[in-house]
Amino acid sequence: MSREGSLGLLVASRRCFPNKNSIIKQPFFKEEAMAQTLAEIRQEIDLLDQKMIRLLAERQKLVEAAGRLKPRQDAAAVAAPDRVAQIIRERRNQAAEVNLSPDLAEAVWRSMIEAFILLESKVNEQGES
């Protein structure tokens, strides 16, 4: 992750959770409100992380396929700035619909997109998967 991506996540997290106790006062999911201990909360987070890893692996396969389909060594096609802007707008809207900070969602997606563009560039330039 770039320094800008890391900084973006930090800024977004401060906007989303200015008070370190705010996440406990306003749970995102009903299941979080049921958790009794820090260990239980961490266990739930670990389970969510496992699901997210599997989803990211699926996304990676699709990104690699897209990289193979785009014109070879076409950096503009890989970067697709119009598509990135569209994705960011959509994810911000989706985040707001479920009471997730749009700033946090944008920071996460920008970081993820940056990493996937690097991967897609390699696939596109070298024909690797």
Q: Which two tokens stand for residue 16?
A: 């989303």
- CA-nearest of 82, 75, 85, 84 to 123 is 75
Weakest mean pLDDT among 15-24, 45-54, 119-128: 15-24
pLDDT score, position 14 = 56
The sign one gets for the Cα dihedral 105, 107, 108, 112 is positive
pLDDT, tens only, 32-52:
556 579 999 999 999 999 999
> What's this model's pTM, rounded to 2 decimal places?
0.68
What domain count does the chain have? 1
Could you tell me the residue range of the domain that residue 13 belongs to?
A: 3-126
Q: Average pLDDT for residues 23-32, to the nearest whole number?
A: 52
Tell me the average pLDDT of the chain. Answer: 83
CATH number of the structural domain spanning residue 15: 1.20.59.10
